[in-house]
Amino acid sequence: MVKKLNVILITVILVSLTGGYLIDKYCSDFNLKEIKYSFINANNQIENKIITSVSKKFPLLDTFSKFLYSLSVSLFIGVFITNQIERNRKKEHENELKTIQANINSTLLE
């Protein structure tokens, strides 16, 4: 059951990383539009300004790709790192119990 869960989590992590990357790649291909505005300011001089704009989809897709990246990182930290920490704690606890058991056995045999 645990191995099946790990396979599912690894699949979700890889899919979310791949999805985030593909969305980033798609967003990087958006054409920037440059709009040149000319207007007369208060001193009766012509002023030129260039404004760049992107598609309205860009902020939404960018946010979604960041969500996918953060999902994969949080799943990785939440599952695999905490499992490693728990295994280390369990080994330390077992070693402590063995030393206590050895000390009890040595004092009983004396």
Domain ranges of the chain: 2-30+56-109
C-beta of residue 37 within 8 angstroms of C-beta of residue 51 = yes
The pLDDT > 70 percentage for the chain reads: 95
Residue that wins the pLDDT comparison between 2 and 33: 33
The pLDDT > 90 percentage for the chain reads: 22
- Digit-coded pLDDT (tens) for 48-95: 888 887 778 888 888 898 999 999 999 888 888 888 899 999 999 999
Question: What distance in Å separates the CA atoms of residue 61 and residue 46, rounded to the nearest whole number?
Answer: 38
Instruction: State pTM to two decimals.
Output: 0.61
3-state secondary structure of 44: coil
